[in-house]
Amino acid sequence: MINIIAEKTIAAPMDQVSAAFDDFANIYKFHPAIRESGTTNGQTSGVGAERVCHFYDGSTFHERLVEVGDGRWVVDVKQSGPIRKAQAIITAVPEGPGRTRVKFDMRLTIGFPMNLMAPMIRIRFRRILLKVFDGLEDHLRTGRLIEKGGEIGRPIEIAGLHAAAA
């Protein structure tokens, strides 16, 4: 198993950070690698919510929210290919007025021969997670969609984008 931990304090209040993670189906709004996302079972938030994430690189992940509680979200990730199993544990803790400490703990189980590249995979995923924090902070500050690579895009209402129904 590969464990990847990334954390950062962002300039956003805890209630806004919680609202963004609670809106499980719409992670595309702030994740710079996700082109679109949406619910696959009609439930957009809470334990049991499922989503599909379509990434800019063409890959697709199916995810299920398995635990929610007081600044903590646990997501099981299903994806074919070299990743056999993955789980993301996201935590958020207020750190003063208008600031929140966000942490991702990713746990990946991969098969041979990909497991030989564990150090590179750990570095790559950590970089992506740090960009997610930046995207979340920028989205909450501007209300705009975060696009490929972390670019701040048009306002979501104007962009005409919405969570994709799978």
Instruction: Please state which of the four CATH numbers 3.30.530.20, 1.10.1060.10, 3.30.1180.20, 3.50.50.60 is assigned to the domain occupying 2-159.
Output: 3.30.530.20
Using pLDDT thresholds of 50, 70 and 90, give the confidence band for residue 91: very high
Q: Residue 25, SS3?
A: helix
Nearest-angstrom CA–CA distance, 32 and 128? 8
Closest CA to 80 of 124, 104, 111: 111
Domain range annotation of the chain: 2-159
Q: Which residues contact 158 (CB under 8 A, 6 or more apart)?
A: none
pLDDT value, residue 147: 86
pLDDT value, residue 161: 43
pLDDT value, residue 135: 94
pLDDT value, residue 159: 43
pLDDT value, residue 120: 77
Long-range contacts formed by 145-150: CB under 8 A, 24+ apart: 145/28, 145/29, 146/29, 146/30, 146/31, 146/32, 147/32, 148/32, 148/33, 148/35, 148/56, 149/32, 150/32
Decide if 144 contacts 152 (C-beta within 8 A).
yes
pLDDT value, residue 22: 96
pLDDT in tens, 105-163: 989 877 766 666 677 778 888 898 999 999 999 999 998 888 887 667 655 544 444 44
* pLDDT: which is higher, 92 or 78: 92
Closest CA to 73 of 98, 48, 100: 48
The whole-number average pLDDT for the span 8-37 is 95
pLDDT in tens, 25-67: 999 999 999 999 999 999 999 999 999 999 898 888 899 999 9
Question: In the chain, pLDDT over 90 holds for what percent of residues?
Answer: 58
